[in-house]
Structure 1
Amino acid sequence: MAFYLLLCSFIYLFSYHISLTVQEQIEYECVDIYKQPAFQHPSMKDHQIQMRPSAEFQATLSMESETSEMVNGKSEERCPKGQVPIHIPQSNYTNTLIHPEKTITAANLHYAIIKTFDNSTKKRYGGAQALFNLYKPKVLENQFSKAWIWLNHREKDMISSIQFGWAVHTGLYPDDHPRLTTFWVSDRHQNGCYNTLCRGGYVQVHKSIYPGMVYDKVSVLGKKQYDAHLLVGQDSRTKSWLLMTRKTLIGYWPSQIYSMEGASQVYFGGYAGGPTGAISPQMGAGTFPRQVRFQNKLACFMKQLKTFADDGLSDINCHEYEEYVNSPMCYDVWYRQFELGRGETLTFGGPGGECGMI
């Protein structure tokens, strides 16, 4: 009997130790929904959380059917009722790469994108979406590589911006997995940051999908492809900017903090960089898109490119966009419209290396 009790005690202590070890590896914490970082800003004192898009906003969404497997990370509820998951950044993360660039040709930052022409008509976009192909580009310490959408509004030297997609970012995260990632900065506050890393800004509402979440299945070139849908749009009723996957609300940037009335610039594509002087990282699948021509061997792609305008969510107008690559030795972009059997497809990427700039 004594041996049995001793054995049970050992099993309990061993299991407890394992439980603590697993717990220590968890990269998010469950916090009271009203005590997350967004509510530590004075402007958010009386804010009422928006738990779902307004009916008016929902009516503007028109999701296309898609045969490829949709990946949103693990779907189980991570937090108890009344709490939300907040990503915990690795402890040695610094702010050196937090703020967005004032010019698109900043040193050691590499773009392979399509972007709207200079907006002489003062057109305003109320958001954008894409179906993001998931890859795992190779990066070194403190480097990043992203599949990304920018919603920018520029007034002279001031910029407001919401950016989102997936990122492999070894300065922000403890590994090289692609993760749902967001960035914002407001001309009102000039204290923008990734995900939930600063007071005010992004409000998390979903209990399992959150910025910082790992996409646990990634594509292999020429083999099975995995995708994730992401959308950001301004709710016409609340004026907040909503982050969604399909018709599921993940979180939002409240109008009290982020007051931008429409974006004047929209970019889609790849973005990579890191400390000056280092070898530049891979982008996308690590291949040039024009070298991978067969439909079953696409380079990293984005599909279902849409923006919000006065008539709701609609396909982008190819005549409003131009291709832009600032390091053609290392990266490229290829926008293919209505390819047979695939619709419009934006492919981008490259091997990185010692990259010249133009």
Structure 2
Amino acid sequence: MALYWLLCPSIYLFSYNIAQTVQEEVEYECVDIYKQPSFQHPLMKDHQIQMRPSVEFQAMLLKEYPEILNLSTNYKSKERCPEGKVPIHRPQINYTNNFMIHPEKAIAETNLHYAIIKQFENATKKWRGVGAQAVFDIYKPRVLSNQFTKAWIWLNHRENDVISSIQFGWAVHTGLYPDDRPRLTTYFVSDRQKNGCYNTLCRGGFVQVHKTIYPGMVYDKVSVLGKRQYSVHLLVGQDSRTKNWLLMTRTTLIGYWPHQIYSAQGPTQAYFGGYAGGLTGDISPAMGAGNFVIQAGFRKNYSCFMKQLKLFYGNKLEDIDSNAFGEYVDSPNCYDVWFRKFEVGNGELLTFGGPGGACGFP
């Protein structure tokens, strides 16, 4: 089951051969906020755009966790679009056709690997939450054409045959983007969008509201092993008033998945960590900082990390219960993960990564 959730956002992009060069042309277009792709879905006909978190949601963040205000940013502050318009990432390939391969048909056709922490199936404290957050260390792992590598959070829910998942973090993804730079990346799948959707690439998906920060945006500052580290705070939570699922950095709203499209009652599983893959038979790409965590231990600046791992419990954002999470690596000859329980200043923290290589299948 864990592999199913990990497969969803990646299968269909491998068949495109995209050069790994930095594109000089502008990769976004300024679109009327009411004419962005999400509003082309009939369920969004009467949707009212949410321009900021509700007072209750914002107050909860500031009151309970004032340290969020001090978390790092990693984006250029120059406003990209005029009033009434928002930046929408412009893909380099045609996404108008239904190109999604169903994950169950593709398990034997792909080369996908993960190094994550995941809640135990038999945990005594069952979680049905409304979001999660982390501070992501940003690296630029080496990938080839038709490969991806991610630092990622999964918020998963399954009820009978209905599968829903919101996923977010940074990704180097040469099937989705025209180069090998790390970018803010999101994905979701639901009963009303069964094929799944990256960023703003489908009708009835993510609603963009910020004029500077957007899915597909490049993180221009990246960490270097043993030297300066750059990180970014990302959070997804359901606004108790509007029921929309908000994507935020610190207390800034980037956009959201509208409740008309993403109507799940709340995730029941959360994963944190790394995910990488490519075509069957290929050498698998690097993950994280490209080194085995066990070699670096927890020495500062020597492995890719995610820290301040938190989940929403009701209307509170709390550190994850470390006793309810375990480490999972499907290809230990290529990747590893190390979960370090609460550390002052970092909260719950994990490091992950690996050089990739000839990893084989789970």
Q: TM-score, normalised by structure 1?
A: 0.87
- State the partner residue of 1:19: none
1:91 is matched with which residue: 88, 93, 117? 93
Q: Which runs of 4+ in 1 moved over 6 A?
A: 66-69, 92-97, 103-106
C-alpha separation in 2, matches of 1:154 and 1:319: 23
Q: Which amino acid aligns with 1:89?
A: P
Distance 1:241 1:103 in 2: 29
Q: Secondary structure at the match of 2:39?
A: helix
Change (3 A) 1:26 1:324: same
Sort the Cα spacing of 1:298 and 1:79 in 2 relative to 1 into closer, same or farther, 3 A: same
Q: Say yes or no: does 1:53 pair with 2:53.
A: yes
Distance 1:28 1:228 in 2: 21
Distance 1:97 1:335 in 2: 37
Q: What does 1:248-259 correspond to in 2, within 5 Å?
A: 248-259=252-263
Is 1:234 the counterpart of 2:260 in the alignment?
Answer: no
Counterpart of 1:74?
A: 76
User: Out of 115, 118, 123, which is 2:121 matched to?
Assistant: 118
SS at match of 2:279: coil
1:5 aligns to what? none
- Give, in whole Å, the separation in 1 of the partners of 2:36 and 2:231: 29
Equivalent position of 1:170 in the other structure:
174
Query: SS state of the match for residue 172, structure 2?
Result: strand
Change (3 A) 1:26 1:97: same
Q: Sequence identity of aligned pairs in percent?
A: 70
In structure 2, what is the Cα distance between the partners aligned to 1:96 and 1:119? 38
CA distance in 1, matches of 2:94, 2:226: 37
Shift of 1:117: 1.8
Does 1:26 find its partner at 2:29?
no
The alignment partner of 2:195 has SS state of coil
Q: Which has the larger Rg?
A: 1
Aligned match of 1:346 in 339, 350, 360? 350
* Structure 1: gaps of 5 or more residues: 1-22
What CA distance in whole angstroms lies between the structure 2 residues aligned with 1:95 and 1:137? 30
* RMSD of equivalent CA atoms: 2.5
CA apart distance, 1:337: 1.3
Moved more, 292-301 or 303-312: 292-301
Corresponding residue number in structure 1 for 2:16: none
The residue type paired with residue 77 of structure 2 is S
Instruction: Tell me, in whole angstroms, the C-alpha distance in 1 between the residues paired with 2:99 and 2:275.
Output: 13
Secondary structure class of the residue paired with 1:324: strand
1:357 CA drift (Å): 3.7
Q: Show the counterpart of 2:218.
A: 214
1:139 aligns with 2:150: no
| CA distance in 1 between partners of 2:107 and 2:317 (Å) | 30
Q: Secondary structure at the match of 1:58?
A: helix
- 3-state secondary structure, aligned to 1:59: helix
Pick the aligned partner of 1:331 from 320, 328, 335: 335
* Shift, 1:157, TM fit: 3.7
Aligned to 2:43: 43
The whole-number CA distance in structure 2 between the counterparts of 1:186 and 1:77 is: 32
Give the letter for the 1:110 counterpart. H
For 2:266, the aligned partner's letter is G
Q: Does the C-alpha gap of structure 1 residues 63 and 122 become closer, same or farther in structure 2, counting only changes over 3 Å?
A: closer
d(CA) in 2 for partners of 1:89 and 1:236?
A: 33
- CA deviation digits over 1:28-81, x for unaligned, max 9? 000000000000000000000000111111122144648998233211110000
Whole-Å Cα distance in 2 between the matches of residues 127 and 341 of structure 1? 22
Superposition map of 1:237-276 within 5 A: 237-276=241-280
Partner Cα distance (1:54, 1:100) in 2: 36
Paired residues of 1:119 and 1:264 also in contact (CA < 8 A):
no
In structure 2, give the amino acid aligned to 1:239: K
CA distance, structure 2, for counterparts of residue 314 and residue 123 of structure 1? 12
Q: Is the 8 A contact 1:230 1:244 kept in 2?
A: yes
Q: Report the 3-state secondary structure (helix = DSSP H, G, I; strand = E; otherwise coil) of the residue aligned with 2:194.
A: coil
1:233 to partner: Cα distance: 0.3
| Aligned mates of 1:119, 1:247 — CA distance in 2 | 34
Displacement after TM superposition at 1:198 (Å): 0.6
Aligned mates of 1:170, 1:195 — CA distance in 2: 15
Residue 82 of structure 2: SS of its match in structure 1?
coil
**Rounded Cα–Cα distance in structure 1 between residues aligned with 2:52 and 2:31:** 19
Cα 1:339/1:56, change in 2 over 3 Å: closer
**Native 8 Å contact 1:37 1:198 kept in 2:** yes
Question: Post-superposition shift, 1:293?
Answer: 2.3
Offset of residue 101 of structure 1: 4.5
Q: How many residues align?
A: 336
